[in-house]
């Protein structure tokens, strides 16, 4: 870490959110916020968004079409066989496999997407700013260069409920 950072450390969610909103009104945004559990005000307030649910929808759409297409190809075109007097294209009984295999595809692909986008994968070394952010501390990280002008008011707001480390 070559850059210099200011850490605002808080003991609970309410004080964190309060400080976060006050700072946001002043136009100061933290680089990142670390919390032991998801805090929705922070997730909504930070300038990040996720399209993982949209991705999942399209995975599902293409998986369903692909699987249904494969079943039809295998049972109707490639090697047609009569089973129990059903037509070759026994569409209703293909639905079952399509649903279950689609769910499997969505799950696996969304997991890989999550892993790639959130950068959470096996063998990754965690970049830890504050040891207790996964335990009981709520930590806001500020880039020291970016907030040179507001550093006084920043410190005032941070020390109101939390402390600076």
Partner 1 sequence: MFNSAVRGKLIDGDKSFSQISKEILAPIHAKTPLWWYAAMLVSLGMFGFGLYCKYITISTGIGTWGVNNSVAWGWAIINFVWWIGIGHAGTAFSIFLLILRQKWRTAINRAAEAMTVVAVFCASLFPLLHMGRPWLFFFIFPYPNTRGPLWVNFNSPLFWDFVAISAYLLISASFWYFGMVPDFATIRDTAKSKIKKAVYGFFAFGWTGSSREWLRFEGLSFVLGGIAAVLVVSVHSIVSTDFAVSVQAGWHTTIFPPYFVIGAIFSGFAMVLTLVITMRGLYNMNDFITDRHVDAVCRILIFISLIMGTAYMTEIFIAWYSASEYETYMFFKNRLFGDYAFQFWAMFTANAVIPQLFWFKGVRKRMWIVFIISIIINIGMWFERFNIVVTTLSRDYLPAAWANYSPTYVEVGFFIGTLGMFLAGVLLFFRYIPMIAISELKSVAKFDKPNNGQLKAKSHE
Beta-bridge partner residues of 77: none
Give the pair of three-digit tokens for residue 151: 């550093």
Q: Which stretch binds partner 1 (CB under 8 A): 1-9, 129-137, 149-157?
A: 129-137
Please select the residue that binds partner 1; options are 56, 143, 150, 153, rule is CB under 8 A: 56
Q: Indicate the residue among 113 and 149 with the shorter CB distance to partner 1.
A: 113
Give the pair of three-digit tokens for residue 157: 């707001």
**Rule CB under 8 A: is residue 78 a binding residue for partner 1?**
yes
Give the pair of three-digit tokens for residue 163: 């402390």
48 φ/ψ sector (left φ>0, alpha ψ -120 to 50, else beta): beta
Please select the residue that binds partner 1; options are 1, 3, 27, 49, rule is CB under 8 A: 49
For 2-15, letters b (16+ CB in 10 Å) and e give eeeebbbbbeebee
Q: Which stretch binds partner 1 (CB under 8 A): 2-10, 39-47, 150-158?
A: 39-47
Q: Which stretch binds partner 1 (CB under 8 A): 2-10, 77-85, 150-158?
A: 77-85
Could you say which residues in the range 131-150 bind partner 1, by CB under 8 A? Answer: 131-136
């Amino acid at each position: 870490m070559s850059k210099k950072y200011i850490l605002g450390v808080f003991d609970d969610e309410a004080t964190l959110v309060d400080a976060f909103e006050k700072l946001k009104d002043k136009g100061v945004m933290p680089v990142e916020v670390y919390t032991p559990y998801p805090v929705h005000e922070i997730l909504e307030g930070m300038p990040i968004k996720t399209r993982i649910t949209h991705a999942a929808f399209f995975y599902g759409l293409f998986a369903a079409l692909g699987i249904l297409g494969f079943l039809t190809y295998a049972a109707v075109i490639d090697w047609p066989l009569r089973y129990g007097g059903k037509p070759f294209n026994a569409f209703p009984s293909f639905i079952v496999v399509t649903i279950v295999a689609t769910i499997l595809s969505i799950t696996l692909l969304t997991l890989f997407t999550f892993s790639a986008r959130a950068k959470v994968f096996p063998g990754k070394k965690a970049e830890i700013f504050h040891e207790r952010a996964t335990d009981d501390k709520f930590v806001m990280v500020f880039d020291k260069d970016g907030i040179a002008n507001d550093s006084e008011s920043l410190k005032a707001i941070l020390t109101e409920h939390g402390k600076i480390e």
